[in-house]
Chain A
Amino acid sequence: MPDEARAQTPEGAQAFVRYYIDLINRTSTVMDAAPLREFSDGCRDCNRIATNVEEHAALGHDYQGGQVVIGNVLAPVMGDGEASVPLYVGQTPLVVRDGSGTVLSDESSDEIPEMYAGIGLRWDDTRQTWLMQDFTVG
């Protein structure tokens, strides 16, 4: 994690969000979701993404694409140990293949154009890091 993402400041919250989305993109490349859970504090969508990856990995499936593309990350609304980060995100086309290389069309998706989103963060004093609490898109 970059040092700037460990700051309890608006800039730190923005940096953490960028870092976490990088983690999401890395997860779908290496099919290892543990880092997503490590920085999730009850974040449903984060856990859902992790579960999806773990289930596909267990079945020997492979992801191609599906990268989350970060647009503009706006100034967060800061609370007491919390931050609400407005941002724009999209997703590149996702192709999921089974072990034989067959495309699983039900699991794959078209490109998702950039949409307005919000991420809720909570500062963890013990670990000196932000944690994801919610990631709502659209």
Chain B
Amino acid sequence: MSRLPYYATVVLNAFVVAWVFASPASAAGGGCSNTLCPEVGAAPSALTASYVSGSSGGGWTASSSAPADQPWTYRLTKPCAISDQEAGACGAADFRECPAPPDRVVEDFVVEQRRLVLPGDRTVDGFPTGGQPPGTPVGQWDTLLRACIDITALNPPPSPDEVYRYFRTLPLPELPTRQQPPGDGLSGLPVVFHTDGPTTQTFDLDIRGFDVDIVATASSFTWHTGDGTDLVSSDPGAPWPDHSVSHDYRSGTYTSSLTTTWTGTYTVDGGAPADVPGTTTTDGPPVTFDVLEARPVLVNPYD
């Protein structure tokens, strides 16, 4: 429920609002298959915070303490969790890009608010308290706005997008191109390609105090043959005779190289592994070789 007058009030009150981020206990996939699903507080994966303050530039920043007698509590939910709550199929593509400096966490949220009981057995808009003590949330959640919220101060666990930003900067191996026969090739004789670099790498990162382990795996190999052809394989190839990648050349000089596409999985503080929501590539050093034309010559074997 949109309540613009309340939003305006929030803005006028020095842009300070308090909020709670919690996966709604009642959301599909949240483990409640009952008809009524009472809110029982923050889910284990919930991010709880206390404030969001608006800047003059129109941005919103979260912090972790609230003024006394705060009339609302707030919940931040990923937009796709609202629009696609039943399928539960939030993906990286569902989120609006929120510009952020490298050391800030700014993400796209739908902000919902819920009344808190204030001292004096009242609420900000007269909604009955039900006899609940001050500070207790009462009534329904109302949708307030959708915005990019700076949640750095809440120190949330690294999001998939944040992990992906780190993933793209990892010093992944630039896998070399090995070709056979070594040295010059012969036209009519396929050149075999493979790489002998590591196809799995593990990284232990510290992201804002969280221990993030990333396992990067080379999942696709694009062999640039040097004659305009790109060969794509899902394996790193192998030397002859177990080869899986080869190419026929005409005579000439060629420079070939390998682009490796890396995927990854990660864990945060030893939790359940998740996929890094994107790939990155590395380009290996090029190799140049000649392909020679072999001409048949009759020889006398008894010479």
User: With A86-B127, A137-B39 in contact, is A48–B26 under 8 Å at CB?
Assistant: yes
Chain A hits for B283, CB < 8 A: none
B11 within 8 Å of A (CB atoms): no
Chain B hits for A30, CB < 8 A: none
Instruction: Return A40 CB to nearest CB of chain B, in Å.
Output: 11
Inter-chain contact B27/A66, CB cutoff 8 Å: no
In the complex, what distance in Å separates the CA atom of A74 from the CA atom of B139?
Answer: 11
Inter-chain contact B35/A84, CB cutoff 8 Å: no
Closest 3 CB pairs of A and B: A118-B139, A138-B38, A118-B140
Instruction: Return B160 CB to nearest CB of chain A, in Å.
Output: 22
Most A CB atoms within 10 A — which of B3, B28, B126?
A: B28
| Besides A49-B35, A84-B139, 6 new A-B residue pairs in contact (Cβ under 8 A), listed by A number | A48-B27, A88-B130, A116-B132, A136-B114, A137-B37, A138-B38
Within 8 A of B (CB), among A100-138: 106-107, 109, 112, 115-122, 133-138
Interface residues on A, range: 35 or more
B141 within 8 Å of A (CB atoms): yes
User: With A47-B28, A77-B125, A120-B142 in contact, is A94–B34 under 8 Å at CB?
Assistant: yes
B128 within 8 Å of A (CB atoms): yes
User: With A47-B86, A86-B139, A134-B141 in contact, is A122–B1 under 8 Å at CB?
Assistant: yes
Using a CB–CB cutoff of 8 Å, the interface residues on chain B facing chain A are 1-3, 5, 24, 26-28, 32-40, 82, 85-86, 114, 125-128, 130, 132, 138-143
Q: Is the interface of B mostly helix, strand, loop or mixed?
A: loop
Chain A hits for B126, CB < 8 A: 77
Inter-chain contact A136/B27, CB cutoff 8 Å: no
Chain A hits for B2, CB < 8 A: 82
Using a CB–CB cutoff of 8 Å, the interface residues on chain A facing chain B are 24, 28, 42, 44-45, 47-49, 51-52, 66-68, 74-75, 77, 79, 82, 84, 86, 88-91, 94, 96, 106-107, 109, 112, 115-122, 133-138
In the complex, what distance in Å separates the CA atom of A68 from the CA atom of B36?
Answer: 8
Instruction: Return B97 CB to nearest CB of chain A, in Å.
Output: 24
Minimal Cβ-Cβ distance residue in B for A63: B35
Instruction: Return A44 CB to nearest CB of chain B, in Å.
Output: 6
User: With A74-B128, A94-B35 in contact, is A47–B1 under 8 Å at CB?
Assistant: no
Minimal Cβ-Cβ distance residue in A for B87: A51
Inter-chain contact A136/B140, CB cutoff 8 Å: yes
In the complex, what distance in Å separates the CA atom of A47 from the CA atom of B85?
Answer: 9
In the complex, what distance in Å separates the CA atom of A45 from the CA atom of B27?
Answer: 7
User: With A134-B140, A136-B141 in contact, is A91–B86 under 8 Å at CB?
Assistant: no
Inter-chain contact B86/A51, CB cutoff 8 Å: yes
Minimal Cβ-Cβ distance residue in B for A132: B140
User: With A112-B34, A136-B139 in contact, is A45–B26 under 8 Å at CB?
Assistant: yes
User: With A51-B28, A86-B127 in contact, is A137–B38 under 8 Å at CB?
Assistant: yes
Instruction: Return A61 CB to nearest CB of chain B, in Å.
Output: 10
Most A CB atoms within 10 A — which of B1, B36, B82?
A: B36
User: With A45-B26, A86-B130, A118-B138 in contact, is A137–B1 under 8 Å at CB?
Assistant: no
Inter-chain contact A91/B125, CB cutoff 8 Å: no
Instruction: Return B85 CB to nearest CB of chain A, in Å.
Output: 6
Instruction: Return A89 CB to nearest CB of chain B, in Å.
Output: 7
| Cβ contacts A to B, 30 pairs, < 8 Å | A24-B35, A44-B24, A48-B26, A48-B37, A48-B86, A51-B28, A52-B35, A67-B35, A68-B35, A79-B1, A82-B2, A82-B3, A84-B1, A84-B142, A86-B138, A88-B130, A91-B35, A112-B34, A117-B140, A118-B114, A118-B138, A118-B140, A119-B140, A120-B141, A120-B142, A136-B114, A136-B140, A137-B36, A137-B37, A138-B40
